[in-house]
A and B are shown apart, each in its own frame.
Chain A
């Protein structure tokens, strides 16, 4: 087991890494830009090509990677603590698959070409509807297991609908568009996407903000948590809505990005002494850092076009997760 670090040292380390990685992210891309010139052009002098690349592309892409990754890490930590299950992912309550379905519907019916915000809006609506379905299916006083089962069922059905749309897609072009979107990418991020991402993300984060202590109480099980003052039906409603909003917004902008929400909280949990409330902020920071690193990675990989970042997180995430499980088994936890 990794030795326990103090919370502050962990936050400082993650913060420092984020700043360094973000700077790196501003410098790396298909066009090499001298940072000082670009900064000068952006904020002081006249607009030039370097300044435009920086403010219109690199900064939005970096921020979206940080925000979307942070949402995935944070919501993974929330769902794992809420369901008392280290295998829960932010998508478990339907938000990710719902967002995918909503987005694919807008692509399928061509709405996405009609106006800019159609796709992300469709995604957010899809995420909210899918999460609501899980919530209603499970019932108001549902236990953890019922919620997980309802989530699995809704996810399966939603993804079946996505497959149906792919199956019925009118043209190969539409199929390709949908398939590529589903892979998850930060390649075509501009300021617009940043503005689309922000409201749902911030609303979700704020709703999660004060619930850490209730998640701590859930460590003892649902009945004991209730006896210690947790209001579980309200907590669940609140966190479901928060995750649907934040993850829905993130997935709608980036496409499906897997494993960050699963791996990051799992990895950081020993470093915060396994306490759910202390896991939230580090998970958000770690998620942002990991997605940004993965995105820098795909920019550096020599490939025709660009490998999608969602593919990379899954390619690295899945074996890494397996390794973590084997480590856990060895240490007997």
Chain B
């Protein structure tokens, strides 16, 4: 049985369809890469799966149970959502901000226990935030901020982590770190849906890719099935330079914009 499953999901904004009947499945331990051009509906799909917005039509189930039968807190313990842009209201320290990610597991007056502290400590280390733990969030660089909000999403130990472009602000080394971190999360039996713009990173880390285009699924499968010249031409209107040189995996370089 699929961990998460959505059928014919639709969402419109001002009568403008953004998602137009998207099916999605996610198995336990799987990392699904969500790709597609700007405005394809990737972020909307993720917000919908996270419960930040509600679908106009369609059916969404978590472990076979309709998502609406979960309380918001139950859902929050299972599914964590990392938005593309994080607007943090107050200049809180990194450590405190990350610790707030444990709230779905705490009762109203309950203080974080030793187990909570241990996880917070581990995630702060894994996201390479130890030197910045006492720094106010707003004084961090863009990449450090991106890792801090990722850490916030990860400390809730979600079964499903929905990450919207978690690496777009990161340098190459930290991009690899974060993708490795997400892979490890999957190896531990959890699942990840990650929105990526870097097709090579997507092909490298995600066994399965889903290409969205104009609110619908254009292609789904492994990198070789999805990242075909035809699909990329249709979705992005670009020509790709596919190289199968001495490197262990083929890589794709956006080469030329097609005018049509």
Contact = CB atoms under 8 A, between A and B. Distances in A.
B31 interface: no
A220 B96 CA distance: 12
Nearest to B139: A332
B81 A224 contact: yes
Contact of A221 (B87, B104, B139): B87
Contacts of B52: 223-224, 226-227
Nearest to A269: B90
Nearest to A85: B89
A333 interface: yes
Given A212-B108, A274-B91, A217 B86 contact: no
Q: Which of A218, A227, A275 lies at the interface centre, i.e. has the most chain B CB atoms within 10 A of its CB?
A: A227
B103 A333 contact: no
A224 B83 contact: yes
Contacts of A218: 89
A274 B50 CA distance: 27
Interface in A182-239: 210, 212-213, 216-221, 223-224, 226-231
B147 to A, nearest CB: 15
A227 B86 contact: no
A273 interface: yes
B100 A84 contact: no
A169 to B, nearest CB: 43
A273 B89 CA distance: 13
Contacts of B53: 223
A218 to B, nearest CB: 7
Interface residues of A, number: 26
A72 to B, nearest CB: 21
Interface in B70-86: 71-73, 75-77, 79-81, 83, 86
B42 interface: no
B106 interface: yes
Interface of B: 47, 50-53, 71-73, 75-77, 79-81, 83, 86-93, 96-97, 100-101, 103-104, 106, 108-109, 136, 138-139, 149, 152, 156
16 contacts: A216-B100, A216-B103, A221-B86, A223-B53, A224-B83, A227-B81, A228-B101, A228-B156, A229-B76, A273-B92, A273-B93, A274-B90, A274-B136, A333-B91, A333-B136, A333-B138
